[in-house]
Amino acid sequence: MTVVDTVGITTATSSGAGAFTELDNSKVTKFQYKIMFISGMGFFTDAYDLFIIGVVVALLTTQWNLSTGQVSLLNSVTLAASAVGAIVFGRIADIFGRRKIYGFEVLILAIGAIASALSPNYVFLLVSRIILGIGIGGDYPVSATIMSEYSGTKSRGRMVGLVFAMQGAGLVVGPFIAAILLASHMSTGITWRILLGLGAIPGLAVFYLRRQLNETPRFALAGGDPAEAQAAIAAATGQAASKGPRAASKARHQQSAFAGFRTIGRNRQMLLWIIGTAGAWAMLDFAYYGNTISSPEVLKAINPNGSLLYNTTLQLFIFAVFALPGYALAIRLLDKSGRKKIQCLGFSMMAVAFYLIGFVPGVSSTVAPFVIIFGMSYFFTEFGPNTTTFIYPAEIFPVEVRTTGHGISAAAGKLGAFAGAFLFPTMLASSFGLRGAEIVAGTVCLVGLCLTLWLLPEPKGLSLEQIEETAYSPRAGASGVK
């Protein structure tokens, strides 16, 4: 059976579902772990860069005499550029295929990182960070969808979650390297260049491996290349050794550049879902990136006499003790408890933590209680919406608009992150102060909770084709899949 949507795009639904039974029922294979690793390296870089720019800005503020406005822009411009990259790469991948462009986004990322390290002045650095952001944004929809479309039903949440959990390694490696360089008393001018330049290495390391993948089986079959789909399934399920892709996949979705946006906008179910995925991601990233990129300023507000090295080490402690276990628990429970329950719990506990900092004076004036409460917010961010908002759009949108839907959602997240990263330094320096900024972050998390409860489905245990049928069903309710 096929379904023709309102703009004339033909979509394979139940007719193709049987083709993926073996893949859906398969255990996780070495090949799938390989995809997880090469996909996850982009998110390692994202997290590394997320932390490092805060340290770099702290060093450059004195060296280049930066104003508060310049600091805010430097903190946030990469995130705004990421929104552009997510939209553009997400749309291209739905038309020409995931593999067609896979790998080129990390090349853009690497070029931006190298150019940033060589920057002679503020404007050059700003432009380099924009290039970096386009590459980071482009990696979101393509990597998430490739892992989702290669995964089995019972392990899909775990595998896509593991891709994103590579961010946790970047969160730890970033401050670890920064602490080593700061402790070495190396020249400030050399330190910040090394920190920025190292961001190019992960992307360059996996470029070749990304170019060797087959097209995903779902896109290949829906795009008219069943031989490529069968080769991909055989490799993913361990039936055949992966010998690299065929010369070129013939899979294509014959649609215009804007057709995918119209498909989502004119389908009531998908429109509600995109509001849920994009809105929740924007709320999460406002609070998460606002706090994390501004962490040197946040910790300075708690401990004004602490050195940059001391505060960097403290941030490393928070990430290692609180954030990493959050990722680990999310990976363990995603396919058992489900995405919706974990996202709701995460948003709720983030709001509690931020409100405690904002409304209880003692928390924001003493290092020990602040570190515990602030650390709790990171645990429930990772064991919660920071992981699930990445997974949701890679599952619930149909194959011909899957990377488009993910790109829109990721772009909304990055715009929320841009707002948080841009506004946090201003709020911290104003009468709002730390407590006011955290109250804003807590309120934003409550909005994310409401969007999740009202608009998002629970895709746990369902194949991508079953979810796709719900997306096109005229009888689906607001949340669709139960």
> pLDDT for 56-89, tens place per residue?
999 999 899 999 899 989 989 999 999 999 999 9
Whether residue 48 is contained in a domain is answered as yes
In angstroms, how far is CA 353 from the centroid of its own chain? 22
* pLDDT tens, residue by residue, 149-180: 999 999 999 999 999 999 999 989 999 999 99
Q: What is the CA radius of gyration of the chain?
A: 22
Query: The domain that contains 77 carries what CATH number?
Result: 1.20.1250.20
pLDDT at 4: 34
* 462 assigned to some structural domain: yes
Lowest-confidence segment of 40-44, 67-71, 237-241, 408-412 by average pLDDT: 237-241
Residue 428 pLDDT > 90, yes or no?
Answer: yes
Is 290 domain-assigned? yes
Strand partners, 2: 12
In a domain, 295, yes or no: yes
Model confidence at 473, in pLDDT bands (50, 70, 90)?
A: confident
At residue 17, the pLDDT reads 56
Question: Is residue 5 one of the residues assigned to a domain?
Answer: no
Query: What tens digit of pLDDT does each residue of 253-305 get?
Result: 778 889 999 999 999 999 999 999 999 999 999 999 999 988 888 988 888 88
Residue 14 lies in a domain: no
Host domain of residue 198: 20-472
Mean pLDDT calculated for residue range 316-327: 95
pLDDT at position 9, please?
33
State yes or no: pLDDT of 3 exceeds 80.
no
Q: What pLDDT was estimated at residue 482?
A: 52
pLDDT for 245: 54
CA 388 to chain centroid: 10
Kindly compute the dihedral angle of the four CA atoms of residues 392, 397, 401, 402, in this order, to the nearest 10 degrees.
40
Largest interatomic CA distance in the chain: 68
Instruction: Indicate whether 187 belongs to any domain.
Output: yes
Number of domains, the chain: 1
Q: Which burial class, exposed, middle or buried, applies to 475 when counting CB atoms under 10 A from its CB (0-12, 13-18, 19+)?
A: exposed
Within a domain: 11: no
